[in-house]
Amino acid sequence: MRPRRCIFFRRSCHIERFEDIKKALYTGASYVVIPYEKTFPKEEVRKGIDRFGRDRIIVEFNADIDKPDHAYESVRLLEELKDLGVAKFILKHVTVSPAMNRILENCPLPVIVRDSLVRNDIATILSMPNCCGIATNYYEGKNILKVKRSLRDQGIATICLESSVSFADMKTNEHGLIPVVVQDYRTLQVLMVAYMNEEAFNKTIETGRMTYWSRSRNELWVKGETSGHYQFVKELRIDCDNDTLLAKVHQLGAACHTGETSCFFTELCRKEFADFNPLTVLTEDYNVIMDRKVNPKEGSYTNYLFDKGIDKILKKCGEEATEITIAAKNPDAEELKYEIADYLFHLMVLMVECDVDWNDIVKELANRRKS
Amino acid sequence: MEKNIIAYINAENAFSASVLELAMSYEQNGADGLYIYNYDDNETTQMHFLQTVMSYRAV
């Protein structure tokens, strides 16, 4: 099962500078789409590729022969763009024809066809050689998963949810049910536990929305159908005994019927322990620093830094970074740990001052790993 | 070759909230990607557009 999320983003029809590409990719977009023009900023694109890596830029052409951005038939130009590090091409206003098929066949990179789908049949477009997808607004408000499943049945390799283990091979209880532990896909917080029967499992795979079997109502239960608090499947796993499912979901609103994020909000007992989860620790420290900024505390070093302002914070970050480099030359790792912790503290003060949080950083890192 | 269904959203003259709502709806309905564009060259509009795309990332 393969969850996906990527953002194509078009800055404008006049990207002229590397700065424009930078700003666009800094939004978190996976790609920036640049329409081809006679004054195509090749050098700026090259700079963008040097900075952000290959395969982050898509070039769009117009298939309409009378338009100025009609240049996709020049194989030499396409090869040049490929060598530059362009990821894909987008071709708009395509008329399906044998001639177009030949052009696409010779295209050195995969092509996304942009089409309103009013005239053309999606299956025909997706079957064109070298066509890796279609960009369309035709499916607004429609169930795209269903469309993809139907296309797959026609032999087109669309990306659908598919289980590697069939329900028949899972161990259910005497009522034909299997428990499902549900986690938030970002925080991994356990949200709830529910049960699925075969119908609920198949419906979950088919629709991408978590569907359970309600043991109290004795009926199929699409989570969120009444409350709007849907759960969208990101990943499903099964345990070593094939008798419990683990679902990572994108939860809209609260998972619990009480309005709590998680159903596990009641503490039964607790023994003090130190939380060693890196992101939890960093996030909690960040929140304390944020709280100092909002509710200043007399004598607080953090407030001293905020009062002095950005220049002081930057100076401290610079000093702490230098101390790391000195400590790293020391064979005793303890000093290095201490200096890194000091640096991270000052870095978080800077992050709070500049309104950047750990989620932003983690997303950026995840985005780089993806691309 | 895997075939992607990508939703495209024209963000020109659209409220940020409605672009975000539409983007979320496409994603939840199974789109493999989103192609959000804005042809407007006005600097302020473009800044606003960048903010919108950034907000989507944060959702």
pLDDT digits (tens, 9 = 90+) for A223-265: 999 999 999 999 999 999 999 999 999 999 999 999 999 999 9
Q: Does B42 touch chain A (CB under 8 A)?
A: no
Q: For A328-338, what is the mean pLDDT?
A: 90
Structurally, chain B folds into a number of domains equal to 1
In a domain, B34, yes or no: yes
CA triple A275-A278-A280, angle to 5 deg? 60
CB A233 within 8 A of CB A204: yes
Question: Which residue has tokens 């028949």?
Answer: A168
Rounded Cα gap, residues A18 and A47, in angstroms = 6
Cα separation, A111 vs A128, whole angstroms: 10
A152 in Cβ contact with A160 (< 8 Å): yes
Report if residue B1 sits inside a domain.
no
Inter-chain contact A132–B2, Cβ cutoff 8 Å?
A: yes
Question: pTM higher than 0.80, yes or no?
Answer: no
Task: Sort out which chain B residues have CB atoms less than 8 A from A110's CB and list them.
Answer: 1
Paired strand residues for A317: none
**Residue B19 counted as domain residue:** yes
Please check whether residue B14 touches A, CB under 8 A.
no
Residue A299 has a CB neighbour count (10 Å cut-off) of 6
Distance CA B57, CA A366 (A): 12
- Residue A96, pLDDT score: 83
Answer yes or no: are the C-beta atoms of A32 and A41 closer than 8 Å.
Answer: no
Q: Which residue shows structure tokens 């830094």?
A: A305
Residue from A12, A23, A121, A152 whose CB has the most chain B CBs within 10 Å, to mutate: A12
Q: Quote the percentage of chain A above a pLDDT of 70.
A: 93
Q: State how far the Cα of A57 lies from the Cα of A28, in Å rounded to an integer.
A: 13
Instruction: Report how far apart, in Å, the C-alpha atoms of A258 and of each of A186, A218, A267 are.
Output: 22, 21, 16
Name the token pair of A186.
């970002």
> What chain B residue is nearest to A12 in terms of C-alpha separation?
B39
Inspect the interface and report whether the beta carbons of B28 and A230 lie closer than 8 Å: yes
B16 within domain boundaries: yes
Residue B37 lies in a domain: yes
B44: contact with A, CB 8 A cutoff: no
Q: pLDDT tens, A12-65?
A: 445 668 888 888 888 878 888 888 877 778 888 889 888 888 778 898 888 876
- Any idea which residue has 């983003």 for tokens? A9
In a domain, B49, yes or no: yes
Range of the domain at B25: 6-58
What are the tokens at A170?
Answer: 């899972």
User: Is it the case that residue A284 has pLDDT exceeding 70?
Assistant: yes
Mean pLDDT of the A280-303 span? 93
Rounded to two decimals, the ipTM of the complex is 0.91
DSSP characters for A325-353? HHHHTSS-HHHHHHHHHHHHHHHHHHHHH
Confidence of residue A360 (pLDDT cuts 50, 70, 90): confident
How close B25 gets to chain A, by Cα (Å)?
Answer: 7
- For residue A68, pLDDT beyond 70: no
State residue A221's pLDDT score. Answer: 96
pLDDT at residue A13 in the model? 43
Rounded distance between C-alpha atoms, residue A96 and residue A285, angstroms: 58
Tell the burial category of A295 from Cβ atoms under 10 Å away from its Cβ (0-12, 13-18, 19+): exposed
